[in-house]
Structure 1
């Protein structure tokens, strides 16, 4: 640490005594280089002179450690340094950039368990999910390494004699990544691995409530860059809230802003970036439905619904918010779902305990939103079939909740609450179910459980689900890195991870080369 940070630690020893670093159970924090007070800025060197923020464990409400936020001027300097490093980084051949990303993937493998534990400790998701999230970054590194040797260009036939038409993709410059608390590693991984092999530098602003994950992840990356003599400002970090995000969004040197968060904030980000003709990648809210047909495998659909509804304590953008069940099986489905929810509650506990299946909400704000939504649903005529209350234990635990008797177009239903609340509806025909799926403003993920081919092809067809993710016989949560991830309507229209999502991080040039000694015009135009 710098002298300034050391002095702070001494002057504010109460912070050290209050945080969890003194507990041997959390030794993995020191393995990841987490200190009592951490600098929150990295661009080849660690610094930070903004205010101190505390990272809070959602499972206990205790302070884990503290972090120096980034100031606005520091953010501008980081962006400028990233822009300078882009010239050098983009000049390295793509396969050589892929080799750096391969090493980052391997470094993440070496730190899979400790970093996964930190995700669980700081975000609150159970250990299996915390480790799985780091694995997702590793997987996208592998994907990006292959991509680095396959970035395509095209040759098209020209209508003119002795001419050739080429299409070439080039890097765009600095990519600003603003990620959310619920996936504090994976979303950055999707963006950074692809952006880096495409030849861009990255400035990351993680969530201000998961700063330790951002710092630990950046330290892993910086180790690789330093070993290879690559400037650390190829993958920079800034820490802070909306003011730091605004600085990224408004800066013309940031060619692409990839924002993950609420639709409300994403709309503001979109307007600002478009106003300066920057590029956008938006991954915003979801209000996802899982439809169960009367011919579905009931047990499989129940298992899928349980994880999709209450995995990550309902804090995934792909969480199932609405269950649309065929009227003939609704009562049986609801009965089995309650039994499953009750069994999950028997496995509530510390996210770091491997036996735990259900963890806390992220913070008090999330608990408040949960309680307000449940109250609002009841006031609008909803019936609580299961849950509905805060759990009396340390931390931010609430009961997974099932609500019936609300209209599908009720405002409570149409509003996404980042909590384990699911609304139950019934339907008669597949066309009716599709209408109910599409009625909300969001369009991220959707699922249909059926064995009927006619239902399937209606569901995936042009008049079926209007979401970016359209599943059959799997839940709404759990996307593979090989496919493009993202949604339509107020979800933002962005696509990250696999398929051709790499195109977001590059600019396209159409090139015409005349290798002859004549100058014919296109379309046969004569100008002589």
Structure 2
């Protein structure tokens, strides 16, 4: 079942990877793109790999004084960056994309080693960064407004979009670099600067990104502060959320965290872009292509060890095919290749840490107390290759949608099987019957069912797929969800608008001044 890597060559490969990316034994607390700071800070955090338990490197933790210094540099940089024409800002992003191409392999490996997702997913995450750079380059020539017809003669009216300012980005451990790029590259072409607080669980990939883009900034003689990163705990996130100098905070993480960020930003009437929890379901109607659906269900449930916000948590199956689907899944799960994420052939890597393992085990205990039937999985693997205690066997549980644990998002590989009867509208009601609303999917060859699913009385999620799984969104589409998922949108489509402020302009090119509402007066 497991995939192993010989320890000696592995250690050499890790050392070479870290050297290429500029990661030292102990790393600074922050960077303003060109200058590093906080090298002498007393608090140090050691970063261990969930793959093998080895110490990768350490980071200095930033202070509130460091945060203030970073924001001041960002404010100074914004005054310069906003005056650069948008297509020229796009040229800088194009160069960043090319740098990421050069470092795709080592950065992808570090994503895999630091976070625990399999290597192909790590490389795929870096490819998403490259793709969003390409998207942003094209966008830099398309930041259009609208021309409107004025009701007053000899007047012209239009709306346009201007840079917003400093954008704060708070990212989560599960996508340690892609989420930053979705925000930072769009913000950059919009004329904004970004200050990035990565997860304290995966800070090394963030520091590596700063090393990668540094030469682009230096070669183009740009000021420090356009792209900044600061390594810290929740105190830094709180400071950013409350800071009136940061007009937009984009936060990715749990619903609990997002509500705190949204409350703090809202209290100062700032803008927040929240990408929070998902409780994603795949509906399998009796008209589903079962072979295709099973492929989507399995990868959606166990990919990234269930630690994607778009991971498949529930599969809602018509009673006529329920037993067949359950039987097939119970044959597939024992053969899942679980092991070191850097090894060829591995599909399921480790959970991020032992706290995540404990949450996984506790959720399974709790759902069984509610009446759930654990069919398979739910074990912590031991023995050679599994010494870290972070490898688990993905679980399948027969459950009902109203169970408390089914209503919550457990960031782990737990798949709930839910049976439904009657028409597709019953399945849609079950799918919508949770607090979260990120990603959803239906498998059916019946157009009446699929069209109902994507209609305005169908799925209430921000993403609704037909004959595609819940994970694996494309860069070109807006990414985000509704309800407790936060309502934000990142990446493609017109998601760029949140990084700008909208302005309506009216120009009078007559020699008269007609007043609003037909008011007339003499003086």
Provide TM-score, normalisation by structure 2: 0.95
**Cα distance in 2 for residues equivalent to 1:227 and 1:280:** 33
SS in 1 for 2:97: helix
Q: Match for 2:121 among 129, 132, 147?
A: 129
- Is residue 471 from structure 1 mapped to residue 465 from structure 2 by the alignment? yes
Which residue in 2 is equivalent to 1:373?
Answer: 363
Question: Contact between 1:50 and 1:71, CA under 8 Å: does it hold in 2?
Answer: no
Q: Deviations over 1:394-436 (max 9, x none)?
A: 22101100001x3211101111100000110111121110110
Written as runs of structure 1 = structure 2, the 5 A alignment for 1:153-168 is 153-168=145-160
Q: What is the RMSD of the two structures over their aligned residues, measured on CA atoms?
A: 1.4
Give the drift of 1:50.
4.8
Contact preservation (8 Å) 2:279, 2:408: yes
Distance 1:20 1:368, change over 3 A: farther
Q: Distance in 2 between matches of 1:335 and 1:22?
A: 38
2:244 and 2:268 in contact (8 A); partners too: yes
1:25 to 13, 37, 40: 13
Establish whether residue 518 from structure 1 lines up as the match of residue 512 from structure 2. Answer: yes
Structure 2 CA distance for aligned equivalents of residues 308 and 182 of structure 1: 14
Q: Secondary structure at the match of 1:23?
A: helix
Question: How far does residue 223 in structure 1 lie from its aligned partner after superposition?
Answer: 1.9
TM norm structure 1:
0.94
Answer whether contact 1:40 1:215 (CA < 8 A) is retained. Answer: no
Pairs within 5 Å for 1:198-209: 198-209=190-201
Q: Which residue of 1 aligns with 2:218?
A: 226
Partner of 2:314: 322
| 1:140 correspondence with 2:132 | yes
Unmatched tracts of structure 2, length 5 or more: 1-6
Instruction: Choose which of 69, 85, 105 in structure 1 pairs with 2:97.
Output: 105
121-130 vs 225-234, which deviates more? 225-234
What residue is the counterpart of 1:85 in the other structure? 77
Distance in 1 (CA, whole Å) between partners of 2:288 and 2:463 is 20
Q: Deviations over 1:62-117 (max 9, x none)?
A: 21110111111100110111011100001000000000000000000000000000
Write the deviation string for residues 313-361 of structure 1: whole angstroms up to 9, x where unpaired.
00000001111001000110011112222222xx222111122111000
Q: 1:482 aligned to 2:489?
A: no
Secondary structure in 2 matching 1:233: coil
Q: Which of residues 295, 304, 308 is equivalent to 1:312?
A: 304
Mapped partners of 1:209, 1:294: distance in 2:
43
Aligned residues: 507
Where does 1:440-519 land on structure 2 (aligned, <5 Å)? Answer: 440-519=434-513
Distance 2:503 2:521 in 1: 26
In the TM superposition, residue 22 of structure 1 has moved relative to its aligned partner by 9.9
Choose which of 410, 428, 431 in structure 2 pairs with 1:437. 431
Matched, 1:76 2:65: no
Tell me the equivalent position of 2:3: none
Where do 1:278-427 residues align within 5 Å? 278-344=270-336, 347-392=337-382, 393-395=386-388, 396-404=390-398, 406-427=399-420
Pair 417,244 (structure 1): closer, same or farther in 2 beyond 3 Å: same
Question: What's the secondary structure of 2:82's corresponding residue?
Answer: helix
Structure 1 pair 92–324 and aligned structure 2 pair: CA distance change class (3 A): same
Q: Deviations over 1:253-286 (max 9, x none)?
A: 1110000011011101101001011111000000
SS in 1 for 2:225: helix
Other-structure match for 1:11:
none
Q: How many angstroms does 1:21 deviate by?
A: 12
1:306/1:527 CA distance change after superposition, 3 Å? farther
Runs of 4+ in 1 over 3 A off after TM superposition: 19-22, 522-528
Unaligned runs of 5+ in 1: 1-18
